[in-house]
Amino acid sequence: MPPRRPNPPPAPGDIPAPPDVSSIPNDVQRTVSGLGSRVLQPGTGTERPKPEDVVEVHYTGWTTDGHMFDSSVKRGQPTKFPLNRVIAGWTEGVALMVVGEKRRLWIPEALAYQGRPGAPAGMLVFDVELLSIEKKPEPVVIAAPADVAAPPADAKKTASGLASKVIKKGTGKVKPASDAMVEVHYSGWTTDGKMFDSSVARGQPAQFPLNRVIAGWTEGVALMVEGETRRLWIPEALAYQGRPGAPAGMLVFDVELLRIISPGTAAPTKAPTKAPAKAAATPPAGQ
């Protein structure tokens, strides 16, 4: 193993290392993973961050020989990041904290940079002050309609097996051709009522060529006019056809046709195999 490159001399403004950086003291809190920590300043908060939350912190880091390699305190600028996007020792250690708390973390190399070239090597020691927590918003879930399990008797059916029902009448006069570019809002559920996708929940309509989505969409949206909302019951043969990772079985969509961006010219055809190259959101892509 090549010798470790010597550390550069301390720079002006570097924060001196605490006296206990060389090894994990016996009296600190330890976790199963090997992380050591000690509270230096109690916090005022009551909640601890979850891995998906965004945290704002001030910190300083040293190697076990006392070399300071990074410090937001020295820069005079706190840092913010999703807690699950940093080294494992930070994800675990900061999750123990509340706002206002300052804690010293002894992070074994296996929870730090794991020998990554150019990164600080060995066990690292950080003093971390948790300044704020931004909770990840709870996902918006749109309740499934009562008739999601099967098409009702008043739904219209086509020869392909697609069933649909107008939920809100439209104001437009023209229906899109199968190669039209359209803008829609939609929500989709499996027949057990689980929502798997929704442009409504994202707050962003989707734009796509109508012949670049699953066959049930190509056929179903072509029945609509602008301003119309229609519920589609799409058999699996017109949906994802058992594709791994895609919603299985018959799918139910509420689709609102916001506008026909370009009406298209082609006669109705089976949806092709590629998803749109660019879209405002991700509609159900074809095979």
**Contact call for residues 58 and 78 (beta carbons, < 8 A):** yes
Higher pLDDT, residue 159 or 115 = 159
Mean pLDDT of 142-171: 96
- Angstrom distances, CA of residue 97 to CA of 20, 39, 82: 21, 9, 15
Q: What is the pLDDT of residue 215?
A: 94
The candidate with the shortest Cα–Cα distance to 219, out of 262, 162, 260, 258, is 162
89: domain range?
29-134
Is the pLDDT assigned to residue 268 strictly greater than 70?
no
How many C-beta neighbours within 10 Å does residue 263 have? 13
Annotated active-site residue in 20, 113, 147, 261: 113
Determine whether 126 is an active site residue. Answer: yes
Residue type, 12: P
Higher pLDDT, residue 20 or 278 = 20
Is the pLDDT assigned to residue 287 strictly greater than 80?
no
Q: What is the pLDDT of residue 278?
A: 31
Asked if residue 270 is part of any domain, the answer here is: no
**Contact call for residues 146 and 73 (beta carbons, < 8 A):** no
- Kindly state whether residues 43 and 125 are assigned to the same domain: yes
- Facing residues of 197 across strands? 188
Position 263 confidence tier, pLDDT thresholds 50, 70, 90: confident
Asked if residue 257 is part of any domain, the answer here is: yes
- Scan for tokens 């940079």, then name that residue: 113
Position 285 confidence tier, pLDDT thresholds 50, 70, 90: low
**How many domains is the chain built from?**
2
Determine whether 70 is an active site residue. Answer: yes
Annotated active-site residue in 59, 186, 240, 253: 59
- Kindly state whether residues 130 and 203 are assigned to the same domain: no
Asked if residue 9 is part of any domain, the answer here is: no
**Percentages helix, strand, coil for the chain, rounded to the nearest 5?**
10, 30, 55
Q: What is the pLDDT of residue 141?
A: 84
Q: What is the pLDDT of residue 277?
A: 31
Annotated active-site residue in 107, 126, 208, 260: 126
Task: Pick the most confident of 5-9, 58-62, 176-180, 238-242.
Answer: 58-62
pTM of the model: 0.54
- Angstrom distances, CA of residue 86 to CA of 159, 178, 186: 54, 46, 35
Asked if residue 46 is part of any domain, the answer here is: yes
Asked if residue 7 is part of any domain, the answer here is: no
R_g of the chain, CA atoms, integer Å: 28
Both tokens assigned to 6: 């010597």
Is the pLDDT assigned to residue 249 strictly greater than 50?
yes
Annotated active-site residue in 20, 53, 69, 147: 69
- Kindly state whether residues 196 and 127 are assigned to the same domain: no
Q: For the ranges 19-33, 72-86, 135-149, which has the lowest average pLDDT?
A: 135-149
Annotated active-site residue in 20, 87, 147, 261: 87
Determine whether 186 is an active site residue. Answer: no
Determine whether 113 is an active site residue. Answer: yes
174-217 confidence digits (pLDDT tens): 999 988 999 999 999 999 999 999 999 888 999 999 988 999 99
**Contact call for residues 238 and 161 (beta carbons, < 8 A):** yes
Both tokens assigned to 100: 């206002």
Position 130 confidence tier, pLDDT thresholds 50, 70, 90: very high
Asked if residue 72 is part of any domain, the answer here is: yes
The candidate with the shortest Cα–Cα distance to 177, out of 212, 218, 234, is 218
Coil/strand/helix, residue 236: helix
Q: What is the pLDDT of residue 1?
A: 36
Is the pLDDT assigned to residue 142 strictly greater than 80?
yes
Higher pLDDT, residue 171 or 264 = 171
Distance separating alpha carbons of residues 60 and 119, to the nearest angstrom: 15
Determine whether 196 is an active site residue. Answer: no
Both tokens assigned to 188: 């989709």
Q: What is the pLDDT of residue 284?
A: 66
Asked if residue 110 is part of any domain, the answer here is: yes
Q: Is 38 exposed, middle or buried (0-12, 13-18, 19+ CB in 10 A)?
A: middle
- Kindly state whether residues 63 and 94 are assigned to the same domain: yes
Residue type, 208: F
Annotated active-site residue in 14, 20, 53, 70: 70
How many C-beta neighbours within 10 Å does residue 98 have? 17
Q: What is the pLDDT of residue 182?
A: 95
Whichever domain contains 122, its CATH number is 3.10.50.40
63-105 confidence digits (pLDDT tens): 999 999 999 999 999 999 999 999 999 999 999 999 999 999 9
Q: Given 78, 101, 134, which residue is the final one in a domain? A: 134
Asked if residue 287 is part of any domain, the answer here is: no
Q: What is the pLDDT of residue 4?
A: 52
Q: What is the pLDDT of residue 19?
A: 95
Task: Give start and end residues of each alpha helix (H) in 47-115.
Answer: 72-75, 88-94
State the chain's mean pLDDT as an integer: 88
Question: Rounded to 10 degrees, what is the CA torsion of 125, 129, 132, 134?
Answer: 10
